[in-house]
Chains A and B, each alone.
Chain A
């Protein structure tokens, strides 16, 4: 991977002034993605699907092509299985509101879910009386497959909604086995791939995933773009979530006829620039190669982990072994406020996230205030890690 060349594609990285270690929140965008968005707004800023004119036809074409690009990226059978959303959260909410849950239905999650994959189930439990069961992680914060199996044996689970790679500590759950076990027990599986889709190949057919949701903005795509993949036969049977313009073929004053998927789920005017930009982002990732991306992140993680383990007061969340934590290093320093570390790093031009990363439930259960999270992407370098470690040591010396 030609890192120097790649970094030139990202405007913010060109002068090496800023170290961006917050890609798990949002990645940076390549110039090609930015250009693609600008191209929409300058050359054909029209409605897709609705109008007949040339510009509208171009929008329809580009959105269609974008859908096909994403379908290929996930190895979906058909492009109609791809639904554009605003983000992962919207995808999960769509499933929660459309799968026809009723009182007593059981949903299983892990104990490390982002609020996006926790609150919708808590709300359904309150509103409809569904049951939300949680699989507790092993002491090293990895997934407890045995406990999961036991839980599925004992309960008639309707849906397993589970994170693939945790944004908390970077640990990737054994998703293939999880799906296998779930399917053995006739449970559907929805994968929160917000932190995995940007970094590793997801083959929905090979995995036999029922639903996969992720956000475009964590994988070079524009902000507020997301994807919901669903098997066509499941999507066909889902009730629509948001309804209105573009979701129906026709209506009378009392009745309506919904369009087939994907339109039935894409209500109102869509973020065309975002969708087209997201497809460009996917093309960029494919060009670099997801394997190379994962490899680069793993190397950086190993390097940083080794350095951090030399500092006695630093505690890393999750397993010590960097290989199990993808591109994320989440840590805290005893007796030091995590926000203060992040803010001071920011003063030195290093962007990391601090706090509970919207996984409050886990932090509260473990009585921890939060962590500093370094999240890499393929455009980060070893030199940046060196700079980070240098500054962190200085900060610790000042604060401790």
Chain B
């Protein structure tokens, strides 16, 4: 039995180290009784036991004796721990592949494959009303959001994607090219909700609404240019207006729209709805209702459209 346990444990460790691969091979032979056919070859179990005890004896005879007398039991415990940890590692690898983080979608816990946490970094929303409880991933929902209040395109598509982000947020800016690629390459309904994380960028929401209302087609191009602009420029309303002008918008009308009561009411309504989503950082991308917080690798967004991979 020991050989069998050792075979599995060393086979797993063998993935990472050559010396363990050799031991796995020996354990394999031991399992299939090949070892006993060779006269001068000793039993694998004895060999492993001697190696371990030989090391332990130098530290503490008592510990060595303890291990020696419970070797099989300890081997089993070690075996179970190895299996459990392997399942965890496998899950981590799967999670990283599918979610971009070893600890699951949107987790900010440490992940060896993404040690700096780039895939989960967000710009935290400081304009959000204080709440007693820190927000969590499970609170994120689009339940209270009426997408028709926000710029939306391709409304016939089955798959629905909602990006909550802001022009001045570092991580939305980082994620934007990939998200753009994602919504272009896939047949999805795409909604953009501008959610300013800092009050300095709050004024931009009204421009989004007004630009969208004035010309739905030109809006998306202007939107791309906004994300491509420098942060310094985006702090200046004149810059934003000039960009609208360049796109062929009637800037005078836009200005009037931005200052209108109706727009203010709309913006407040939008912010209310966005607060209701529970979003705590940008970018947050909802793919068919499932939230992806932070700039994820492209494959993760793609997997988002294949629900069977998500569990």
A residues with CB within 8 A of B: 337, 339-340, 342-344, 346-348, 354-356, 358, 360, 394-395, 397-399
Contact = CB atoms under 8 A, between A and B. Distances in A.
A339 B43 contact: yes
Contacts of A344: 50, 53-54, 57
A178 B65 CA distance: 49
B61 interface: yes
A12 B209 CA distance: 85
A358 B57 CA distance: 30
A334 to B, nearest CB: 16
B82 interface: no
Contact of B61 (A346, A347, A360, A397): A397
Q: Which 4 A-B pairs have the closest CB atoms?
A: A347-B54, A343-B50, A339-B42, A398-B64
B58 to A, nearest CB: 8
A290 to B, nearest CB: 30
A323 B53 CA distance: 34
B61 A394 contact: yes
B40 interface: yes
Contacts of B55: 347
13 contacts: A337-B43, A337-B46, A339-B50, A340-B49, A340-B50, A340-B53, A342-B50, A344-B57, A354-B42, A356-B39, A360-B39, A398-B53, A399-B68
Given A343-B42, A344-B50, 10 more contacts: A337-B46, A339-B42, A343-B47, A343-B51, A344-B57, A347-B54, A348-B54, A355-B40, A394-B57, A397-B61
Contacts of A342: 50
Contacts of B61: 394, 397-398
Nearest to A341: B50
A393 B131 CA distance: 69
Given A337-B43, A339-B42, A339-B43, A398 B57 contact: yes
A307 B212 CA distance: 98
B42 A398 contact: no
Contacts of B65: 397-398
B39 A343 contact: no
Interface in B58-88: 58, 61, 64-65, 68
A88 B57 CA distance: 39
How would you classify the secondary structure of chain B's contact residues: helix, strand, loop or mixed?
helix
Contacts of A354: 42
A398 B55 CA distance: 12
Contacts, number: 54
A356 B40 CA distance: 8
Contacts of A398: 53, 57, 61, 64-65, 68
Interface of B: 39-40, 42-43, 46-47, 49-51, 53-55, 57-58, 61, 64-65, 68
Nearest to B63: A398
Contact of A339 (B46, B57, B64): B46
Nearest to B64: A398
A395 B46 contact: no
A391 to B, nearest CB: 8
B40 A343 contact: no
A355 B51 CA distance: 18
A344 B57 CA distance: 9
A343 B54 contact: yes
A399 B54 CA distance: 11
Contacts of B47: 339, 343
Contacts of B46: 337, 339-340, 343
Contacts of A399: 53, 68
A371 to B, nearest CB: 14
Contacts of A397: 61, 65
Nearest to B40: A355
A196 B55 CA distance: 37
Query: Which of A346, A354, A356, A398 has the most chain B CB within a 10 Å cutoff?
Result: A398
A344 B54 CA distance: 5
Nearest to A347: B54
A340 B47 CA distance: 7
A55 to B, nearest CB: 39
B224 to A, nearest CB: 68
Query: Which of A343, A346, A394 has the most chain B CB within a 10 Å cutoff?
Result: A343
B196 to A, nearest CB: 67
A269 to B, nearest CB: 29
Nearest to A391: B57
Nearest to A337: B46
A354 B43 CA distance: 12
A331 to B, nearest CB: 17
Contacts of B40: 355
A178 B53 CA distance: 47
A99 B79 CA distance: 59
Given A397-B65, A398-B61, A398-B65, A347 B42 contact: no
Contacts of A355: 39-40, 42
Contacts of B64: 398
Contact of A346 (B39, B54, B58): B54
A342 B57 CA distance: 14
A355 B57 CA distance: 23
Contacts of A340: 46, 49-50, 53
